């Protein structure tokens, strides 16, 4: 969700910088940067910004309940997005291709919290829209995550595991 950031989008540039902090291992710095931006965009901000920020902020959380809260926010923001807005960020993006990852993340969150029914419900939702994923490394990553988490739910229905979050 962060490639080819338009030069005219300073908020997305700030989000991308915070994502870089997260990916470099500076979780505290990323959380701080994400929080500063969230304060500005939470209420009336661009849904694309909110979706992207919340998606990555979830990954920066140490607490599983907080991670779930951010992933719920990412899904809610995606639900208010349009294809036109997504394509304005990058022409190759399709809004419907966001959903398998968003639902996989929610399924993983619920699994970590021991809520197997909600974990299974989101795996079902992820599978229902998996055909929207590109046939590339990203698509394979998400499809593999869905399969692994589904297998974990089947094999160990009462044991949380952190390995499926994407």
Please write the tens of the pLDDT for every residue from 49-94: 999 999 999 999 999 999 999 999 999 999 999 999 999 998 888 8
- Secondary structure (3-state) at 28: helix
pLDDT of residue 156: 72
3-state secondary structure 84-101: HHHHHHCCCCCHHHHHHH
pLDDT of residue 121: 97
pLDDT of residue 155: 85
Tell me which residues of the chain have a pLDDT lower than 50.
Answer: 1-6, 162
Q: What angle do CA 39, 44, 47 make, to 5 degrees?
A: 95
């Amino acid at each position: 969700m962060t490639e080819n950031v338009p030069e005219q989008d300073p908020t997305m540039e700030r989000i991308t910088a915070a994502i870089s902090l997260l990916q470099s291992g500076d979780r505290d710095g990323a959380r701080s940067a994400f929080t500063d931006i969230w304060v500005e965009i939470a209420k009336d901000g661009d849904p694309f910004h909110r979706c992207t920020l919340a998606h990555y902020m979830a990954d920066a959380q140490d607490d599983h309940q907080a991670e779930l809260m951010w992933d719920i926010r990412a899904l809610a923001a995606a639900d208010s997005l349009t294809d036109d807005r997504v394509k304005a960020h990058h022409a190759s993006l399709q809004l419907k291709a966001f959903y398998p990852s968003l639902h996989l993340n929610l399924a993983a969150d619920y699994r970590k919290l021991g809520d197997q029914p909600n974990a299974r419900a989101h795996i079902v939702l992820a599978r229902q829209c998996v055909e929207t994923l590109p046939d590339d490394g990203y698509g394979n990553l998400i499809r593999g995550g869905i399969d692994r988490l589904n297998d974990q739910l089947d094999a160990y229905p009462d044991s949380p595991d952190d390995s499926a979050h994407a």
